[in-house]
Copies of this chain bind each other. A is one copy, B any other.
């Protein structure tokens, strides 16, 4: 018998309340009962996206919503600017190329955030660019890109800012309307604490306007048709009913905790994880602009990351993520997104310490844990004896 610890940046852990909610008997998606549920979910998503626009729900993984964003607002041959600083920046590029767009690529070193000036300069050099595509949190490098600053570049122009917030939304505040983001995309299996299978996309009025003229072919991901259906509190095609029921519970949980507290919790766990890695003498992959979703950590060069993760999974039951593409085998990514708490950090760090020691690394057991504990303690200011009633210091 082995307990499993899923500490990867998606799928993430699903709270028991949500598992229970998803286990309820199926309802029909054209019933008043489903529409009532759907309407509440729509309102909750608008609060999460901080938008007055429709947040459309798709039965798809996040990539489906990324495709929808491009195919609904672009036309063949148009120019776009893609920030490519990781595997998911690369995915924007691939989608744009599949769509026959002319992509101006800004390559960013993996582990770095894009420099706003670089984007500004590229936009000046390429007046033909009609949209900027970027990740809010680049999952592969655990970097947070400066979305708010990028929005300032596009907001009062006729360019669109298209943001993949798949590992950002729900982990950090991304006020779509407030910042002036034109398309905001996310998925279910990250901060939304659901199994994979749902994707979400919201469009600004400017993006909807573009959708009317956009000529790329689309059917399943035709957002105009979806919007029409979702205004009637159902979907154009069969929705993933149980996931939407689970989402209803997720939105209740997030509302109960309070979104500012949800974001603070993610930041706090990320700080603790970074402190642990640094105390162990491990370099952070994204020291300057770290994501609150996951923390990338360089492994000592003598360690084969694939073997390490495999050993942790097999023997400890602990799943943390490795590196992708050129970072494969060289880093680990410790997730703290979604249904995560302080003892997930303790599990990840203590497991990593033990695995590194077993792999012959010269690190001190407990040292990373201690550094994380010091950060975590700052999150419990009320964890102390009730004064004057016989606890530490009263000499009872």
B354 and A391 contacting across the interface, CB-CB below 8 Å:
no
A46 to B395, CA, bound (A): 53
Nearest B residue to A345, CB-CB? B350
Select A347's contact among B347, B355, B357, B360, beta carbons within 8 Å. Answer: B347
Instruction: Please state if B315 and A383 are interface contacts (CB–CB under 8 Å).
Output: yes
Q: CA A373 – CA B363 in complex, angstroms?
A: 13
The answer to whether A358 touches B373, judged by C-beta atoms less than 8 angstroms apart, is no
In whole angstroms, what is the CA distance A395 to B304 when docked?
Answer: 11
**Cα separation A390 to B316 with both chains bound (whole Å):** 21
Binary contact track A130-172/B, C-beta < 8 Å → 1, others 0: 0000000000000000000000000000000000000000000
Is the pair B393, A302 in contact by a Cβ cutoff of 8 Å? Answer: yes
A256, B1: Cβ atoms closer than 8 Å:
yes
Instruction: Kindly specify which of A59-67, A221-229, A239-247, A335-343 makes contact with the partner chain.
Output: A335-343
> Which residues of the other chain, B, contact A15 by a CB distance below 8 angstroms?
1
Q: Report the stretch among A30-38, A121-129, A210-218, A374-382 that lies at the interface.
A: A374-382
Taking a contact as CB atoms under 8 Å apart, the answer to whether A350 and B343 are in contact is: yes
Q: A302-B392, A347-B343 are in contact. Are A383 and B316 (CB under 8 A)?
A: yes
Task: Decide yes or no whether A173 CB sits under 8 A from chain B.
Answer: no
CA distance in complex: A311, B384 (Å):
7
A308 to B351, CA, bound (A): 27
Question: Nearest Cβ in chain B — how far from A195, in angstroms?
Answer: 14
* Bound Cα distance from A341 to B4, whole angstroms: 10
User: Contacts of A316 on B, CB cut-off 8 Å?
Assistant: 342-343, 380, 383
A178 an interface residue at 8 Å Cβ cutoff? no
Given A365-B373, A391-B307, A396-B301, A351:B360 Cβ within 8 A: no
A216 CB to nearest chain B CB (Å): 40
Instruction: Check: A325 CB closer than 8 A to any chain B CB.
Output: no
* Minimum CB–CB distance for A369 against chain B, Å: 5
Contact of A304 among B300, B312, B343, B396 (CB under 8 A): B396
Closest chain-B Cβ to A214's Cβ sits at a distance in Å of 39
Shortest Cβ distance from A281 into chain B, in angstroms? 15
Contact A391 B304 (CB under 8 A): yes
Q: Indicate whether A27 reaches chain B with its CB closer than 8 angstroms.
A: no
| A392 contact set on B, CB distance < 8 A | 300, 302-303, 359-361
> Top 7 A-B pairs ranked by shortest CB distance?
A366-B370, A360-B392, A366-B366, A358-B383, A3-B341, A304-B391, A343-B347
16 additional A-B pairs beyond A302-B394, A307-B385, A360-B392, beta carbons within 8 Å, are A1-B254, A23-B23, A300-B392, A301-B396, A304-B389, A307-B389, A311-B382, A315-B380, A316-B380, A343-B350, A346-B347, A346-B369, A354-B383, A357-B373, A358-B380, A366-B367
A–B complex contacts, Cβ < 8 Å, 7 sampled: A302-B392, A307-B390, A315-B383, A353-B373, A357-B373, A359-B391, A367-B370
